Amino acid sequence: MSSSPALDAILAPGGLQVAFQPIVEVRGQARHIHSLECLIRGPRGTNMEPPAVLFEYVRRKREETALDRACVASALKAASGLPAEVPLSLNVHAATLERDPEFVLYLTDEAAADAIAPGRLTVEIVEHAPLWSGPAFREALSALRDIGVGIALDDIGLGQSNYRMMIDCKPDYFKVDGYLVRGCRADFYRMAVLESVASLARRFGARVVAEGVEEEDDLAALVAVGVDLFQGHVLYPPLTLEALKESGILPRLDATA
């Protein structure tokens, strides 16, 4: 039991809300759902409901590990209602991978309990910093790969998502922040950066996911430099499980409900 009511509410079963945002693969005129990112909001009607407040609070309490476990449990439980073939991505703090030696086992157990194969999962590493990239962090990445979980590096090009992190993580996905994406079509410098990120990802054998895509023109510009995975309101907003079921965008959802 934690020492604060806000944290207790966050960590209580059912405290967190889960939404899914489709990541869409674009090939020519065809667009397909590639995977779903599991997004978390705090307890409904509380100060912690907005994700920005929730994660800032947990960071200040140094309870990223406890929150990540709660997020994983909530996300996988919600996702158990989805079609078996839909890949999922989960956000995990770099601090958790460094500080929680049992996290990978916990993830494995939770996935098994919800009948979700680890091979369907990608862990998106967030809020990474040199402090969290020691031996324990690298061992956790290795353990995740051993069970078939993919690795994504969030916020490419911003903050601590530097070349050292790319080399240490060797991610399967480079997630490019909306700051670089928004307005890129008309921005020479943004396009120069995005072109270099796309080229680097190819050298790593990784794929680029462009986040925060709000305009078709920006999407087209990114396709032109070789990006083929996109996430943002121009495609789909975050959706609850119920909204996903009603949208009809996932095949065979009714058959597995």
Partner 1 sequence: MAQRTEAASGLQGRSAMPHRLLLVDDETPILFAMANYFRAKGYVVDAAREREEAEALLTNVSYAAIIVDLRMTAVHGADGLEVVVYARERCPSARIIVLTAYGSPAAEAEARARGADAFLHKPQPLADLAQLLEALLGKHES
Residues that bind partner 1 (CB under 8 A): 4-6, 47-48, 50, 52-54, 56-57, 60-61
| For partner 1, the closer CB: 42 or 150 | 42
Residues with Cβ within 8 Å of 5's Cβ and at least 6 positions away in sequence, in order, are none
Cβ of residue 255: shortest distance to partner 1, in angstroms? 41
Nearer to partner 1, 54 or 75 (CB): 54
- Least Cβ distance, residue 155 to partner 1 (angstroms): 17
Give whole-number Cα distances, 148 to 71, 73, 76, 120, in Å: 20, 19, 16, 8
Least distance in angstroms from the C-beta of 64 to partner 1: 13
Residue placing its CB nearer to partner 1 in the complex, 61 or 145: 61
The kind and range of the H/E element at 89 are strand 88-93
Nearer to partner 1, 56 or 146 (CB): 56
* Shortest distance, position 131 Cβ to partner 1, whole Å: 19
Query: Looking at beta carbons only, is 57 or 103 nearer to partner 1?
Result: 57
- Is the C-alpha dihedral spanning 34, 195, 155, 172 positive or negative? positive
To partner 1, the closest distance from the beta carbon of 4 in angstroms equals 5
Q: Name the residue with tokens 């920005």.
A: 52
Q: Position 41: which residue type?
A: R
Query: In the complex with partner 1, which residue's Cβ is closer, 212 or 226?
Result: 212
Q: Is the CB of residue 194 less than 8 Å from the CB of residue 213? A: no
Least distance from partner 1 to the Cβ atom of residue 147, Å: 34
Complex with partner 1: residue 95 or 104, whichever CB lies closer: 95
The minimum distance between CB 7 and partner 1, in angstroms, equals 9
